[in-house]
Structure 1
Amino acid sequence: MVIVFLAAVLNYVDRQTLSALAPTIQHDLAMDDRAYADLVNLFLVAYTIAYLISGKLVDKLGTRRGGAIFVIWWSLANIATTFVHGVRSMGACRFMLGLGEAGVWPAASKAVSEWFPAKERATAIGLYTMGATVGATIAPSIVIPLAKWTLPGLGEGWRTAFLITGIAGFAWLVPWLFLYRKPRESQFISAEELAHIEQDGEPAEAAGEAWSWKQVLTFRPVWLLLFGRLLTDPIWYFFQFWFAKYLHSERGVSQDGLTMTWMIYAAAGAGSLVGGWLSGVLIKRSGSAPAARMRVMFGCACLMVPAAFLITRATSTPEVMGLAVCVVFLSLAWLTNITAIVVDVVPKHSVATVFSVVAAGSTLGGIVMNLIVATLVAGPSKKAAGFMDEALAAVFGPLLKAIEGRGYNPWFLVMAVLPLVAFLILRAGGLLRRRNSDTSLSC
């Protein structure tokens, strides 16, 4: 899992390079907040598209080859960003980055299903999710200093940050291609370790054909989990794409001072690990993996209400940071467990495909969040709407008119209740109820 962890680190360093350097890049490319929101949405649209196909590709090609393809793709996209000269070329590069970056997560979930028994899966998912938060944590401390370097022929210093972080992906490929194999094919695993991995009764290379799209789309938990992530993942996307801008514009934090956001991502890493560990403890007591995950998620949902609400009442930056740390900790503990449920309820041969469909709900929620927050912050647009703005406005037009220019506080209030609403939907939809028509749980 160390190599998967490092892939997650690189994934988030590359995606956070833009948000960490947003004030500088916006100035150099003459980009307003709406243009920045469009860039984020282009990334998320590509991410959604890639999710829908990447899981099937990983299930077909295997974890090793599939993971390598996506890391190569997004590393090239990040390197290409070095040479952009306007909003359009930046948008094209962010779109290509999104197409590549989504693929690592189905590959990671498949690796967990291949290498871990049920009681350890959430901890393993927490570990690679922590890799994402570590990447986001260290990104400002890496890319902000890199942006002060100006390499000959590149122009502004922020271009150096994209170049170097993109090259790092190719260094990762060496250990991945050399070391990663399925448990039964690995020369580094003993018979006792293999027996431990397969203790749930399904070997990592379980026989059976991968699910068809019809089987995937008619499996009830797929839709419940998709809606669960659609409602709750926007919380984490907000902290990735907008929180640094919030600190800069609303709390007066300078570009260099934004390195303090490492605390947010450190909290996310801690939440990932603690959430996975806690559900593992509950599984040992109750024996039901999905039920244990839901108990942890309910606790997170309840605690989220006061934590997010109080951000709107905070009077100082330290108060905001303390409350934001709590919100992110709870959000990632929730995310780790709802992700683990996918691995719990789907046979190993189709985990990546189902994971990718469920995760598409995540990016759709992120797109809607991005539109809402941009409207709250930027107010009425002073430029002609682009195709994406027009499409989203056709659906959300009345809502957007009602919230224009109201600032960040309404979003924090919405964020406070999203996990609780999602939990109630999962419970009411009978996520834990087994029916004969459903495929039997893998754990």
Structure 2
Amino acid sequence: MVEQQSGTQPSPVRGARETASRPSRTRWAVAAFCFGGLAINYVDRAAVSVALPFMTDDFHLTKTEQGLILSAFSWTYAVMQLPAGWLIDKFGTRLVYGACVLWWSFFTGLTALASSFAALLGMRLGLGIGESGAYPSSAKAVSAWFPASERARATAFYDSGARIGSALSVPIITAIIGAFGWRAAFVTMALLGVVWAIGWWAYYRSPERHPGANAAELAHINQGRDTGPVPEGPSGGRIRDLFRHRVVWGMIAGFSCLNFVVTFFLTWLPSYLVDERDFDLLKLGFFGMVPGLMAVAGSWAGGLVGDSLLARGWSLTRTRKTCLVSGMLLSSAVAGAVLASSAVLALVLLSVSYAAIAFAMVSVWCLPADVAPADQVGSLGGTQNFAANIASALSPIVIGALAEATGSFVVPLLLTGVIAILGAVSFGLLIRRVEPIAPSPSA
């Protein structure tokens, strides 16, 4: 009789048990969907910015009018943040996120039919309404699907979708414009959004209802939670009660400064490179995506550093504030671009600034899940995004008006650098501790 060697052939029963005891990775597929949604979000958002230098011949827009077009998105985007967060908490991430993508894809497609300044303005206003739900939905999904120990990496993952979308919008949109004209770019992106929404509705469920999440993954997701799974349903708290807490005001002030800075990269960067650094369409399509790609690296770094510091025993307060303050301070490098003697050096400084702002952005979107009661994560995410996007709405108008008044981007970029420093001060001084706030009493 041949003797079987011990340990060389694991039994099928033992292997099945070991497999069942390992957490499945459905949560990362959910994060990947959020990544894709935000990538499409930012390509659609930035499409006008990339196309605008080449649309001007059709619309005969002044710099001030261009600033209004670029900022119009943020007007409705900001106003809709509070209702979007409430709707997400009330009706669930699956329904609201998918509906938001369909809405903004509709207005992206309609932009191809615009024939006047007023029509283009209207399309941008409609786009902002739909896109308002993307970040709060992603924050809510990560809150539901990830434990605190993985939250920074998950947030960095989906936020890097926004950075990749911002970066790829330049070569994608310029390539479509070069081949088919600027109107075709908006039709293409609208169809892509519809495909994503169908996939999201088909795939997304809460962890307890998702067939792909095994018991081990559910236990992993809920580790350290006293209240159990994140609820999907009506919130018992009131949005106005969130404003009683100093940490919320610190989140709002710092994020507003951050958004003023990041909006420059999403709106005026292509025009700056064309007007001030003499980039043609080919150079814009190739080099214009460099800052966005660096922002992707910055976003990933923000997630890895955040989770690494927590794993080393740093407190949540120290971890989040370190990432926020350092990222905002380094992002002030945007002001240095005005002193650069060459386009290459200017592009390097802009890339450093955008990477730093993406590094800080990860911690910004960890804060709602870190701080809010479980049934108000979407509401707090919408609240901070509402205030921040008022600054985002003002940014392209202020930059455009100053550029037109002074004849260059020198003053606008210097101002942007100062605002980055103010953001670091806001995060550093207004936020004392990052810890869960008491649930609001029912209305």
Larger Rg over CA atoms: 2
> Once the 2 structures are TM-superposed, how far is the Cα of residue 29 of structure 1 from its aligned partner?
1.3
Match of 2:207 in 1: 183
Could you tell me which of 296, 300, 305 is aligned with 1:278?
305
Contact 1:149 1:160 in 2 (8 A): no
> Deviations for 1:254-308, whole angstroms, at most 9, x for unmatched residues?
1232112111111111111101110111111235223201112232234344x33
Match of 2:283 in 1: 257
Match of 2:327 in 1: 300
In structure 2, what residue type is equivalent to 1:422? G
In structure 2, what residue type is equivalent to 1:427? G
Question: For residues 296 and 111 of structure 1, do their structure 2 counterparts lie closer, same or farther at Cα, with a shift above 3 Å needed?
Answer: same
Match of 1:321 in 2: 347
> Once the 2 structures are TM-superposed, how far is the Cα of residue 423 of structure 1 from its aligned partner?
2.9
Could you tell me the TM-score, scaled by structure 2's length? Answer: 0.87
Contact 2:331 2:354 in 1 (8 A): no
Question: For residues 12 and 83 of structure 1, do their structure 2 counterparts lie closer, same or farther at Cα, with a shift above 3 Å needed?
Answer: same
Contact 1:229 1:365 in 2 (8 A): no
> Deviations for 1:362-420, whole angstroms, at most 9, x for unmatched residues?
211112222221121112xxxxxxxxxxxxxxxxxxxxxxxxx1632223323334343
In structure 1, what residue type is equivalent to 2:49? S
Could you tell me which of 51, 62, 75 is aligned with 1:21?
51
Question: For residues 5 and 430 of structure 1, do their structure 2 counterparts lie closer, same or farther at Cα, with a shift above 3 Å needed?
Answer: closer
1:211 aligns with 2:237: yes
In structure 1, what residue type is equivalent to 2:230? E
Which moves more between the two structures, 172-181 or 409-418?
409-418
> Deviations for 1:241-260, whole angstroms, at most 9, x for unmatched residues?
00110111011111232112
Aligned equivalents of 2:426 and 2:262: distance in 1? 20
Question: For residues 209 and 91 of structure 1, do their structure 2 counterparts lie closer, same or farther at Cα, with a shift above 3 Å needed?
Answer: closer
Unpaired segments of 5 or more residues in structure 2?
A: 1-30
Q: How does 1:192-231 map to 2 (within 5 A)?
A: 192-201=216-225, 202-206=227-231, 209-231=235-257
> Once the 2 structures are TM-superposed, how far is the Cα of residue 221 of structure 1 from its aligned partner?
2.0
Contact 2:258 2:328 in 1 (8 A): no
Q: Number of residue pairs matched?
A: 407
1:358 aligns with 2:357: no
2:427 is paired with a residue of what secondary structure?
Answer: helix
Aligned equivalents of 1:237 and 1:137: distance in 2? 13
2:230 is paired with a residue of what secondary structure?
Answer: coil
Question: For residues 19 and 304 of structure 1, do their structure 2 counterparts lie closer, same or farther at Cα, with a shift above 3 Å needed?
Answer: closer
Could you tell me which of 80, 102, 105 is aligned with 1:75?
105
Contact 1:304 1:419 in 2 (8 A): yes
Aligned equivalents of 1:97 and 1:440: distance in 2? 33
> Once the 2 structures are TM-superposed, how far is the Cα of residue 433 of structure 1 from its aligned partner?
7.0
Contact 2:143 2:230 in 1 (8 A): no
Which moves more between the two structures, 101-110 or 282-291?
282-291
Match of 1:166 in 2: 190
Contact 2:247 2:434 in 1 (8 A): no
Contact 1:48 1:363 in 2 (8 A): yes
1:60 aligns with 2:90: yes
> Once the 2 structures are TM-superposed, how far is the Cα of residue 206 of structure 1 from its aligned partner?
4.6
Aligned equivalents of 1:309 and 1:135: distance in 2? 24
Aligned equivalents of 1:427 and 1:264: distance in 2? 26
Question: For residues 95 and 206 of structure 1, do their structure 2 counterparts lie closer, same or farther at Cα, with a shift above 3 Å needed?
Answer: closer
> Once the 2 structures are TM-superposed, how far is the Cα of residue 425 of structure 1 from its aligned partner?
2.6
Aligned equivalents of 2:177 and 2:314: distance in 1? 50
Aligned equivalents of 1:292 and 1:432: distance in 2? 11
Match of 2:393 in 1: 367
Aligned equivalents of 1:242 and 1:430: distance in 2? 31
> Deviations for 1:105-124, whole angstroms, at most 9, x for unmatched residues?
11000001001111211111
> Once the 2 structures are TM-superposed, how far is the Cα of residue 344 of structure 1 from its aligned partner?
0.5
Contact 1:44 1:364 in 2 (8 A): yes
Aligned equivalents of 2:392 and 2:275: distance in 1? 21
Which moves more between the two structures, 136-145 or 14-23?
136-145
Aligned equivalents of 2:98 and 2:288: distance in 1? 30
1:432 aligns with 2:430: no
Contact 1:54 1:102 in 2 (8 A): yes
Match of 2:262 in 1: 236
Match of 1:409 in 2: 410
In structure 1, what residue type is equivalent to 2:83? I
1:30 aligns with 2:60: yes
> Deviations for 1:196-228, whole angstroms, at most 9, x for unmatched residues?
111122423359943212322323322221111
In structure 2, what residue type is equivalent to 1:408? F
Contact 1:300 1:334 in 2 (8 A): yes
Aligned equivalents of 2:51 and 2:87: distance in 1? 33
Contact 2:328 2:421 in 1 (8 A): yes
Which moves more between the two structures, 12-21 or 368-377?
368-377
Aligned equivalents of 2:131 and 2:341: distance in 1? 37
Aligned equivalents of 1:78 and 1:296: distance in 2? 34
> Deviations for 1:62-114, whole angstroms, at most 9, x for unmatched residues?
00001011001000001111111100001100100011011111100000100
1:45 aligns with 2:75: yes
1:110 aligns with 2:137: no
2:339 is paired with a residue of what secondary structure?
Answer: coil
Aligned equivalents of 2:434 and 2:87: distance in 1? 30
Could you tell me the TM-score, scaled by structure 1's length? Answer: 0.87
Aligned equivalents of 2:197 and 2:435: distance in 1? 41
Match of 1:392 in 2: none
Which moves more between the two structures, 409-418 or 25-34?
409-418
